[in-house]
Structure 1
Amino acid sequence: MQNSDFNAGVAASPLMPKVERQRLHDTVVEHIRRFIVEGVLEPGKKLNERELCETLGISRTPLREALKVLAAEGLIEISPNRGASVSKMSEAELRETFELMSGLEAFSGELAAERMTAAELAEIKALHYAMLACRTQNDLPGYYSRNQAIHDKINEAARNSALRQMYIAVNRRLQALRFRSNFQIPKWDSAIHDHDEMLKALEARDGKKLSAILRQHLLDKRDAVLQVQSQEAAAGAQLKT
């Protein structure tokens, strides 16, 4: 998305209200993180502080504080001379990070199948059906938020604080890429099939099966992201010729 398209992209999203003063810092961080996840701010894009301040209705001080938080998460790169830009993973880094995430998800599933309460399982079921409703409406942002909530609930149910901390840190760097993995309808539908199987494994308390499903699910997302990036690179090369 080009710089001139930024305000139009933000305005088109119903999920981006003006920032309220209450809990300003956390809200600004969450809004910019969502811009990155949903592709309003694309990898490598240089951030225009004036545009962001106008869009969010804030001054530069809370914006810069938020950018520091996102830089610590690996989502933003801040250069003393060039300002801030959205981080962009190399292909090797992308492959390695998805491989790591597949292991974290797999371990989460194995532990969660053993430790999850009936109430937690019911909550995941509700999210699953809400996610399916979003798919029928082609609501990718709504689908994605519920999809990620399911994965997050599984990780929480593992009840391992060290795993939880690492999961959160790694997943933040991959959220935008996980969102992009559903741009192709067949990949989106394949992900839904995986989630159907995840739910069955959770209900059966089959940790080994859930672990295997989650591991492959993340590796498939890696491959989908690489395919999208390859197609975009090819399209860009054609435009230059």
Structure 2
Amino acid sequence: MSARETILRKTLHEELAALLRNMIVEGELRPGERIPEQALCERFGVSRTPLREALMVLSAEKLVHLSPNRGASVVRITCDDVSEIFPLMATLEGYAGELACERIESAGLDRLRLLVDELSDRHRAADVQGYVEFCRRIAEAVMEESRNATLSHQYQVLLVRVHNIYMRSLEVMVERMPEHWQAALDGRQAMLEALENRDGPTYARLARNYVCYQVETVREALKAHEPELSS
């Protein structure tokens, strides 16, 4: 195999891994679902080798479970996973915010103001899916403004793992605890104010509180949607 072929092959499996991540985030591949390898090969016009290499990448990220006899399936999130992942996300987002407070420029602040305005609009319309999407965009924008690629990558891996259950947790929140949803929005607006004031310690504290605040709601969502995983 030539050096060029090696590079192209590496690029291909990385592109496939990105496509599969997105399918998991969007719910096209659902937790616990077996991944249809043959159908995906046909859909993307690739052989099984790069697809399996992509699945190995996702397995290392704990997004996919590989079984010698049953193939690959999307990992299901448990309450134990939530207890581990959300505090780590809180720490990463808090640190990213501290860096962003030092490094963000006026254009970045303008972008975040628009995103938070959109978030408020989605809250007002009780648009859960849209709200989750703008939460994701805001978190990613803060990560980008931190200008720390390693930090951004690690956060993105965790975000993909919990995206679907976070969506369900908001559905539970809207139905059972609307005041918690308002508190979550208030938290995002307070974090924006900390960015505007370039107050890194306050942003970090707010971010940690904001993410950890979601844990009990996520647990409720697990109990409601996947009771066998909630113990």
Structure 2 partner of 1:206: 199
**One-letter identity of the residue aligned with 1:179:** M
Structure 2 partner of 1:230: 223
Tell me, yes or no, if structure 1 residue 129 matches structure 2 residue 117. yes
* TM-score, normalised with respect to structure 2: 0.76
Structure 1 partner of 2:105: 117
Show structure 2 runs of 5+ residues with no match: 1-10
Report if the CA contact (8 A) 1:38-1:179 is conserved.
Answer: no
Q: Which SS does the other structure have where 1:46 is aligned?
A: coil
Query: Are the structure 2 counterparts of residues 218 and 174 from structure 1 closer, same or farther at C-alpha, using a change threshold of 3 Å?
Result: same
Deviation string for 1:205-232 (max 9, x for gaps)?
2222211111011112222111111233
Structure 2 partner of 1:10: none
- CA–CA distance in 2 between the matches of 1:197 and 1:130? 15
Q: How does 1:70-219 map to 2 (within 5 A)?
A: 70-184=58-172, 185=174, 186=178, 187-219=180-212
Deviation string for 1:53-108 (max 9, x for gaps)?
67x56456365454333223221111121101111234223201211111111111
Report if the CA contact (8 A) 1:73-1:172 is conserved.
Answer: no
Report if the CA contact (8 A) 1:105-1:155 is conserved.
Answer: yes
Q: Which SS does the other structure have where 1:85 is aligned?
A: strand
- CA–CA distance in 1 between the matches of 2:146 and 2:201? 14
Structure 2 partner of 1:6: none
Report if the CA contact (8 A) 2:140-2:152 is conserved.
Answer: no
Query: Are the structure 2 counterparts of residues 201 and 164 from structure 1 closer, same or farther at C-alpha, using a change threshold of 3 Å?
Result: same
- Superposition CA RMSD, Å: 3.0
Q: Which piece of structure 1 moves more, 159-168 or 198-207?
A: 159-168
Structure 2 partner of 1:41: 29
**One-letter identity of the residue aligned with 1:174:** V
Q: Which piece of structure 1 moves more, 73-82 or 138-147?
A: 138-147
Show structure 1 runs of 5+ residues with no match: 1-22, 237-241
Percent identity between matched residues is 34
Q: Which has the higher helix share?
A: 2
Report if the CA contact (8 A) 1:105-1:214 is conserved.
Answer: yes
